[in-house]
Structure 1
């Protein structure tokens, strides 16, 4: 398989990304407008495109470029899975020159994906640290000062 790594998406590739998101339980509600806004606010974008410039894989990173970076949205087109493209995405992130001196890179994943990410040194053993969420839609207007 021939592919190329890109750092910015064309309008057609943004549409491809929206289609990728539509096929996943965690991202199917995303809109074109919100995805464009999200891309503009992402610090690092890694896309994989095929020989026709169609987006077949994607991930993004939010970072301060010193202490912390977090990987989001690792996604591969369903027809291109089991070909090692997810590994290519993670390789591109952990070897990205702008992240070379970042102290810690984090990501969120389902339990069944832990063995996949452990290959790059990611660990689910985070001691007493707990992830906390605040859902904007649920709390909007209910907890005002």
Structure 2
């Protein structure tokens, strides 16, 4: 894979419709709250991946969405996108994932962590776990 054919950009609020269109095209159910930091992975002029990171009430952030278009999966692009985005955050980044995704996030510097969640994320995780077996993971800046 030639990584020079890809670029990763943080989108402005005015560019939000581009990411909404991308998610709609793939029938992705990703949510992008108003205060979310939006990141896009481009191949040429086309968005082929995205990351959404939402600030919490603490200095930490919540990675609430990572999506790669189906035709571009299993090529290392999700890791490339995730690591580039994470390099822009100096505080902890939390996420919730299904158990089968733990190896992917382990490989990208996240650790399973069931304590220390910001209160707003603790509440979300408790609600989400009513319907899905989600695991909380942490990418700690000091790690």
Computed over aligned residues only, the root mean square deviation of the Cα atoms, in angstroms, reads: 2.7
Is there any run of 5+ residues in structure 1 with no aligned partner, and where?
135-145
Q: Is the 8 A contact 2:53 2:64 kept in 1?
A: yes
Shift of 1:92: 1.9
Task: Name which of 20, 25, 34 aligns with 1:19.
Answer: 25
Structure holding more strand per residue: 2
Map 1:29-44 → 2, pairs under 5 A: 38=32, 40-42=34-36, 44=37
| TM-score scaled by length of structure 1 | 0.67
Shift of 1:41: 2.4
Is there any run of 5+ residues in structure 2 with no aligned partner, and where?
129-143
Please say if 1:124 is aligned against 2:127: no
| TM-score scaled by length of structure 2 | 0.67
Aligned length: 116
Map 1:1-145 → 2, pairs under 5 A: 1=2, 2-8=5-11, 9=15, 11-20=17-26, 22=27, 24=28, 27=29, 38=32, 40-42=34-36, 44-51=37-44, 53-64=45-56, 67-96=59-88, 99-100=89-90, 102=91, 104-126=92-114, 131-133=125-127
Shift of 1:14: 3.2
Please identify the structure whose Cα radius of gyration is greater. 1
Shift of 1:127: 5.2
Q: Is the 8 A contact 1:16 1:54 kept in 2?
A: no
Q: Is the 8 A contact 1:7 1:47 kept in 2?
A: yes
